[in-house]
Amino acid sequence: MEDEWRKQIKESIRTPEELAERFDIPLEKIRSIAEEFPICITPYYLSLIKEKNDPIYKQVIPDEEEINKRKFLFADPLAEDRDSPVNNIVHRYPDRCLFLVSHSCASYCRFCTRKRKVSDSSKISKKFINEGIEYIREHTEIRDVILSGGDPLMLSEKLLEHIISSIRAIPHVEIIRIGSRVPCFLPQRITSKLVNMLKKYHPLFMNVHFNHPDELTPVAVKALARLADAGIPLGNQSVLLKGVNDNPETMKKLMQALIKARVRPYYLYQADMVFGTEHFRTTVDTGIEMIRSLRGWTSGLAVPHFVIDAPGGGGKIPLIPNYVQGMNDEEVRLCNYRGQMFSYQQPEKEEGEEGEHRIMQFKAIGL
Ligand SMILES: *Cc1c(COP(=O)(O)O)cnc(C)c1O
Ligand code: SF4
């Protein structure tokens, strides 16, 4: 049904009263939290909750910790606003920029990094969309535009097509990416009409956002297949969240379910230092352990890059388990996924040696 998604939006849970009653939470508590960052949950996503405080529940139902713990945390930890030359554009890297085109999302994640803006139409305003397009047109170094928000797929098809077709008409823009959590929160929105529009503007990529294997329902998998069938390469960005996906078994299941749904895991983010999200943060070694528990143990295609977006706005920094134990001009000492040690011999440094190509050797040490 083409219109099922409109019904989902219309029937979304938006009031503290509805949640208080359904999950038996003190109304006063959710009320004050919802004033800080609003509630919105599609009936579809709500139906995935099996019990109170499960990984689906935690992502969208307000928790009183949101207003309790606030030390050391920031509204804009990544200093995106500093790197915003015009409204709605974040231009931090040399050849690509973020273009915030929608203030709303199908549901609101309690851990949202951009909660200072998301849900507020005065902070991510449609008014500035044409200015954003103009900025991209004037900046010939931009070859990659990432549509974000909020969620770009919450826009009307007409406005979305206006944005995408205008950007596609700019000669120096090579690729367009859409960042969206709609396939997770509102998969019904991935209609053939939407997909037929999107596929006119290739090369177009999409990064979706799934955090838990229970989110890959048959409906979501079908929506992802539709996007993949339209030739849109799909990536996934997950956030490492305490109590949601911070154990190796859940993470492996999530990554395997994604790849099975034709989505290539792209980033696993360390939770940012955003106000009201302290209760979701894990230690950094938890994330490194996640990668250690994936690499080698399952398909390399299912292993994302674990990154921290540098506080203060330095960009994404990848963190990798320590597989290199030591290195000099002669030798690199390596440790594999099982913890076994290997030695890789570096090529000879001397010049002029006649055609003596050394055969590289891997020597297992102490096996
Ligand atoms: C994440 C991000 C990008 C895209 O980074 P990639 O590593 O190319 O995916 C671009 N601009 C900003 C501001 C970002 O935060
Ligand atoms: S979908 Fe993305 S932008 Fe929207 S609330 Fe969740 S994390 Fe924030």
Task: List pLDDT tens digits, range 180-236.
Answer: 999 999 999 999 999 999 999 999 999 999 999 999 999 999 999 999 999 999 999
Catalytic residue among 31, 69, 92, 168: 92
> Ligand 1 centre from 100 Cα, in Å?
13
Q: What is residue 332's predicted lDDT score, i.e. its pLDDT?
A: 97
List 58, 110, 114, 252, catalytic entry? 114
Ligand 1 pocket mutation pick from 83, 96, 207 by most atoms within 8 angstroms of CB: 96
Q: Where are the domains of the chain?
A: 89-319, 324-365
Q: Does the pLDDT at position 355 exceed 50?
A: no
90 CB within 6 A, ligand 1: yes
In the structure encoding, which two tokens stand for residue 234, read together?
Answer: 């799909």
Distance 64 CA to ligand 1 centre (A): 31
Q: Please give, one letter per residue, the 3-state secondary structure of the chain.
A: CCCHHHHHHHCCECCHHHHHHHHCCCHHHHHHHHHHCCCCECHHHHCCCCCCCCHHHHHHCCCCHHHHCCCCCECCCCCCCCCCCCCCEECCCCCEEEEEEECCCCCCCCCCCCCCCCCCCCCCCHHHHHHHHHHHHHCCCCCEEEEEECCHHHCCHHHHHHHHHHHHCCCCCCEEEEEECHHHHCHHHCCHHHHHHHHHHCCEEEEECCCCHHHCCHHHHHHHHHHHHCCCCEEEEEECCCCCCCCHHHHHHHHHHHHHCCCEEEEEECCCCECCCHHHCCCHHHHHHHHHHHECCECHHHCCEEEEECCCCCCEEECCCCCEEEECCCEEEEECCCCCEEEEECCCCCCCCCCCCCCCCEEECCC
308 lines ligand 1 (CB under 6 A): no
Catalytic residue (choose from 29, 31, 69, 96): 96
Of 185, 236, 179, nearest in space to 13 by CA: 185
Known catalytic membership, residue 309: yes
Contact 303, 144 (CB under 8 A): no
Percent of the chain with pLDDT over 90: 92
- The strand pairing partners of 316, in sequence order, are 309
Cα(349)–Cα(338) distance, rounded to whole angstroms? Answer: 31
**96 annotated active-site:** yes
What pLDDT does residue 350 have? 74
Asked if 92 is an active-site residue, the reply is yes
What pLDDT is stored for residue 356 in this prediction? 46
User: Measuring from each residue's beta carbon to the nearest atom of ligand 2, which residues come in under 6 Å?
Assistant: 105, 108-109, 112, 114, 118, 150-151, 181, 209
Instruction: For residue 185, give both structure tokens.
Output: 């929160």
Atom in ligand 2 nearest the alpha carbon of residue 115: 8
Q: Ligand 1 test: best mutation among 93, 99, 305, 307, most atoms within 8 Å of CB? A: 93
Q: Which residues pair with residue 75 across a beta bridge? A: none
Q: What is the dihedral of CA 211, 217, 223, 229, to 10 degrees?
A: 90
Q: What is the mean pLDDT of residues 8-37?
A: 94
Between the CA of 196 and the centroid of ligand 1 the distance, in Å, is: 27
| pTM for the model | 0.94
In terms of CATH, what superfamily is 89-319? Aldolase class I (3.20.20.70)
The pLDDT tens digits of the residues spanning 43-97 come to 999 999 999 999 999 999 999 999 886 677 899 999 999 999 999 999 999 999 9
Cα gap 72→327, rounded to integer Å = 37
Tens of pLDDT, residues 133-186? 999 999 999 999 999 999 999 999 999 999 999 999 999 999 999 999 999 999
The residue whose CA has the least distance to atom 7 of ligand 1 is: 316
Catalytic residue list contains 184: no
Closest C-alpha residue for ligand 1 atom 5 = 316
Based on the residue annotation, tell me whether 105 is a catalytic residue of this protein. yes
**b/e burial code for range 330-357 (CB count within 10 A of at least 16 → b):** eeeebeeeeeeebbeeeeeeeeeeeeee
For residue 316, indicate whether it is catalytic.
Answer: yes
Sign of CA dihedral 167, 193, 103, 151: negative
